[in-house]
Amino acid sequence: MSNASERGVHRDHSPLLPTVSAGVVGLSFLTFVLAWLVLFPILTPSTQLVGGVTFYDVFGLAMLLCGVALVGSGVASRTGYVPATPSATAGVTTGVVLGVLGFVVTGLFVSQTLGIDGPMGLGWFLAAFVGGAAVFVATVAPREDVGSTVPIGAFAVLAGLVVLLGVVGDSWTWNPSGLAATFSGDMAVPVVALVVSLLTAWAGAKAYEGFGARGRQLGAYMFVNLNAALMLFVLFVLIAFIVYRGLPGVLRGAAVGLGTGPEVAFGLHLPFDVPFVTNSYGLRNDVNGVLPAVFGTIWLVVGAVVLAVPTGVGAAIFLTEYSREGRFTQVVEIATNGLWSTPSIVYGLFGLAFLVPRFGNSASLLAGQLVLGFMLLPLVVITTRESIKAVPDSYRDASAALGVNQWQTIRSVVLPAALPGTVTGIILGVGRIAGETAPILLVTSSSMSPFPASRFVPRVLSGFQFTAQPPFVTNTELLQASSALPYQLYALITAGVGAGAGSDADIDPWSTALVLLIVVLTFYAVGIASRSYFRRRLQE
């Protein structure tokens, strides 16, 4: 008995299972990152590393090692060699996920590798159903330590052997029947590696905590973290790719030094000059730029915000604070949700049919501002209503107890508390409308060349004039057609990406995309700074 107790105590402190599981998680994460680098493609899978090893071999070996380690961990836990606290089953959800994976793998193998269709083309389906059902039973029937590791480990081993043996590799192609598409090993191997790495990381995290409730919690945490890392990685790669392709064109002819930039005011010049941003289009320009499009985009967004924010906030205040919950508010809520999900081309057609004829029957900056404002309005209403609803009723009760009327309470208590959420909604909306092309194409730039000269730079502030007749203020600049970065980028792409970028005077589409990205991120930065300011004021 004493020897058995000593062995049991020794097993309870054995680091074998956590060590192996941590190795599986780490190797899975590395495989996950490498797979995305190959897919984008930043890395070439056939590149030879040390000793002639390629990334195909790295993926295959990583999947094989993770699979063997997972199977060993599950068997060691089941036999009692390592301590664990597994549940009676891995769960139906896990069984369904792995069953779908088994269905897909079996179906592809039977239909594409063996070429079995069967009667009425359902032979592969029946085989795939049997394979998926078998994996489901193999996951749910045994104890959690076996059901969570052995099926995933077996799939990882199979995938690793297929890649290591060259069954799927550099020269492999797949032309599925009924699809006009060809899949190569450059795409198939990293995709399989992505799927395997997600599954093995999840199973390894469960094994690290000895399965059970803590294991499931860590597994879910690992899965969520990998997906968050995926989103950040995709965002970083997209931005980095646009910067890499567009920065040389943006910096073409740029100069830094005192007095080299354009004049700001009173004879003062900026200490830098970026002709691609500060120039317009002209035959005599050494470097053609996108200045009219930049100002057109800025004024479109500013006009939309000026229209949508006061209107949307006011509507949200009325619906939340003054109107009673009933059929009317339900109809308004359904309408705002529907308007937010309406495609932008529908807004553009509305502006073309309803607004353009009333503004001289020609495209104008004002029509574009109104259309984009209508697009932004539903999101402002939705987010402001939710932010106001999130303000505790105790704030209103405390204000009413001090003798403050309802409007003063809303203005001084409710709105300041709801402003961070409202600003967040405005940030999301601005990110959408700043890159819209269809409405701008139809109502703002339809009568204008995609590459306007400097005289078409919108000068909205200086265009205001007072008159003796209603509406007593006019602005001819708002009634003129204007270019915008999305419209100009669309024109460049339809002409062929890279077309017209052969000389220094040509406008590069990637550089235009980079400038558009900078403009949108600038609006984001202003919105985030505003939200942080209101949050600090609220905490004070």
Strands (E), 339-491: 464-466, 473-475
User: Confidence band (pLDDT; 50, 70, 90) for 117?
Assistant: low
CA 437/CA 447 separation, integer angstroms: 15
The separation between CA 214 and the C-alpha centre of its own chain, rounded to angstroms, equals 31
Q: Count Cα neighbours of 144 within 13 Å in the Cβ-side half-sphere.
A: 24
- Report the pLDDT value the prediction gives residue 264, as an integer from 0 to 100: 54
Residue 125 lies in a domain: no
Boundary (domain end) residue, out of 202, 223, 244: 223
Least confident of 70-74, 240-244, 267-271, 470-474: 267-271
Same domain, 72 and 216: yes
Boundary (domain end) residue, out of 223, 240, 261: 223
Q: In this model, does residue 449 exceed pLDDT 60?
A: yes
Same domain, 198 and 307: no
pLDDT, tens only, 243-263:
988 898 888 877 776 666 665
3-state helix/strand/coil string of 242-280: HHHHHHHHHCCCCEECCCCCCEEECCEECCEECHHHHCC
Same domain, 294 and 215: no
Residue 337's contacts (CB-CB under 8 Å, 6 or more residues apart) are 378, 382
Q: In this model, does residue 469 exceed pLDDT 50?
A: yes
Residue 96 lies in a domain: no
- Report the pLDDT value the prediction gives residue 263, as an integer from 0 to 100: 59
Same domain, 356 and 434: yes
Q: What is the DSSP letter of 506?
A: S
Same domain, 190 and 328: no
CA 262/CA 282 separation, integer angstroms: 17
Which residue, 414, 416, 424, is CA-closest to 320? 414
State which amino acid sits at residue 19. Answer: T
Q: In this model, does residue 397 exceed pLDDT 70?
A: yes
User: Confidence band (pLDDT; 50, 70, 90) for 266?
Assistant: low
Residue 24 lies in a domain: yes
pLDDT, tens only, 119-159:
555 667 888 899 999 999 999 999 998 999 999 999 999 99
Residue 95 lies in a domain: no
The total domain count for the chain is 2
Residue 261 lies in a domain: no
Same domain, 354 and 496: yes
pLDDT, tens only, 290-341:
888 899 999 999 999 999 999 999 999 999 988 888 888 889 889 998 988 8
Quickly tell me which residue has 């409308």 as its tokens. Answer: 433
Residue 150 lies in a domain: yes
CA 294/CA 531 separation, integer angstroms: 25
Same domain, 218 and 341: no
Contact 200, 74 (CB under 8 A): no
Instruction: Give the rounded percent of residues in the chain with a pLDDT score beyond 70.
Output: 90
Same domain, 327 and 206: no
Contact 244, 220 (CB under 8 A): no
CA 375/CA 382 separation, integer angstroms: 12
CA 412/CA 432 separation, integer angstroms: 31
Residue 128 lies in a domain: no
DSSP for 441-474 reads HHHTSTTS-SS--GGGS--TGGGEEE-SSTTSEE
Buried b (16+ CB within 10 A) or exposed e, 215-228: bbebbeebeeebee
Boundary (domain end) residue, out of 223, 246, 274: 223
Q: What are phi and psi of 250, to 5 degrees?
A: -65, -40
Q: In this model, does residue 495 exceed pLDDT 80?
A: no
- Report the pLDDT value the prediction gives residue 151, as an integer from 0 to 100: 93
**Cβ neighbours, 10 Å, residue 495:** 12
CA 12/CA 81 separation, integer angstroms: 10
- Report the pLDDT value the prediction gives residue 349, as an integer from 0 to 100: 92
Residue ranges of the alpha helices (H) in 165-211?
A: 185-208
Query: CA dihedral in degrees (28, 29, 31, 37; nearest 10)?
Result: 160
CATH number at residue 504: 1.10.3720.10
Same domain, 198 and 289: no
Same domain, 288 and 413: yes
| Domain limits for position 39 | 15-90+142-223
Average pLDDT, the chain: 84
Residue 515's contacts (CB-CB under 8 Å, 6 or more residues apart) are 246, 250, 276, 277, 290, 294, 485
Residue 257 lies in a domain: no
The C-alpha angle with vertex 440 and arms to 435 and 445, in degrees rounded to 5, equals 130
Instruction: Give the rounded percent of residues in the chain with a pLDDT score beyond 90.
Output: 27
Sign of CA dihedral 187, 189, 193, 195: positive
Same domain, 194 and 327: no
Same domain, 186 and 299: no
Which residue, 135, 146, 130, 140, is CA-closest to 92? 140
Q: Which residues pair with 473 in a beta bridge?
A: 466
